[in-house]
Amino acid sequence: MKKIAAITMARNDAFFLKKWVSYYGKELGRENLYIYLDGLDQENPPESEGVNITKVEKIKGQVVSAEKARLKFLSDRAAELLTDYDLIIGCDADEFLIVDPKLEISLRAYLSSLNIKSSASALGLDVGQNLNEEKPIIEDENFLSQRRYAFVSTRYTKPVIVAQPLTWGAGFHRIKGHNFHIAKHLYLIHLGCFDDNMLMARFSDKDRMAAGWGKHIKKRRRTIIEVTERKSIDLDKISNKLRLFQTFCRKPYAWNKPSMAWWKVVVKLPERFKNIF
């Protein structure tokens, strides 16, 4: 079995960090989790005992420059950790790398079975709140038992797993100078748009607004609109086609990032997903 670590960097994100620690701690062991808090003023996330937590000086700058600096920092930390680990998972606090439950295998066991030479990606699912069917999220209940729909977004089909020192682009969306490879039974679940009230509350975060995140947060709300208004397709019926399409569809100016071109798809998550986290 391979030794695998997960790393993230966050600021003012205790809600998602709690779930991140719970999920990846169960899958990989808390001693293999590394959280870098963006700012010496940050408090340790709740229920994070046994996790490696480091507070660093707040990364300054607007969205683009700060994000590049953040990912350079995390790429360097991943490179350091690869002296002790076989694989590193790098993702944001609201992102969860899962194996399809039908395999009945742990994340660590599944990743250990893959021959990852440089990096690996999962199929990205941007979970949203269907305003016609779903209520505000309840923190103490399984999230995927409360959310059944996701917008298929190439923003989250990203190379979050690395097997050698590499440099992630902003948001982990690509690896500089390298292609991406989508693993068959792997999904990256993004929860940043899974609750309308929570998303809108981010507009009151002075740090995010000062860094220029207002436009970005408004753009994210499109996921909620898509899952509310667009007819869904069962994920099992289309997942193979989506992986194939994203593997071969590229924008000429971004050859190492997947594209959905004109195709917009909302999927309904299988019932078996609801107890994952």
Report pLDDT for 250: 84
Report pLDDT for 210: 62
Report pLDDT for 76: 97
Q: Are 208 and 199 in contact (CB under 8 A)?
A: no
Average pLDDT over residues 69-74: 94
Does residue 220 sit in helix, strand or coil?
Answer: helix
Average pLDDT over residues 98-119: 97
Could you tell me what percent of the chain has a pLDDT over 90?
Answer: 81
Instruction: Give, in order, the Cα–Cα distances in Å from 12 to each of 98, 147, 247.
Output: 24, 24, 35
Give the pairing type, strands 182-193 and 119-128: parallel
Average pLDDT over residues 151-172: 94
Give the model confidence (pLDDT) of 11-70 as tens digits.
999 999 999 999 999 999 999 999 999 999 999 999 999 999 999 999 886 666 788 899
pLDDT greater at residue 256 or residue 84: 84
For the cut 80, the answer to whether the pLDDT of residue 83 exceeds it is yes
Give the model confidence (pLDDT) of 203-252 as tens digits.
666 665 565 556 666 777 899 999 999 999 999 999 999 999 999 998 87
For the cut 60, the answer to whether the pLDDT of residue 171 exceeds it is yes
Report pLDDT for 19: 97
The model's confidence at residue 77, banded by pLDDT at 50, 70 and 90, is very high
User: How far is Cα 235 from Cα 124, in angstroms, rounded to an integer?
Assistant: 12
Concatenated DSSP letters of 99-153: E-GGG---HHHHHHHS--SSEEEEEEEEEE--TTT-PPP-TTS-GGGT--EEEE-
pLDDT greater at residue 66 or residue 133: 133
Report pLDDT for 118: 95
Task: Look up tokens 């997942």; give the residue.
Answer: 239
Average pLDDT, the chain: 92
What CA dihedral angle connects 189, 193, 199 and 203, to 10 degrees?
90
The model's confidence at residue 254, banded by pLDDT at 50, 70 and 90, is confident
The model's confidence at residue 126, banded by pLDDT at 50, 70 and 90, is very high
User: How far is Cα 174 from Cα 82, in angstroms, rounded to an integer?
Assistant: 19
Q: Which residues of 100-136 are buried (b: 16+ CB within 10 A; e: fewer)?
A: beeeeeebbebbbebebebbbbbbbbbbbbbeeebee
Q: Are 130 and 148 in contact (CB under 8 A)?
A: yes
Report pLDDT for 216: 63
For the cut 70, the answer to whether the pLDDT of residue 96 exceeds it is yes
Report pLDDT for 173: 86
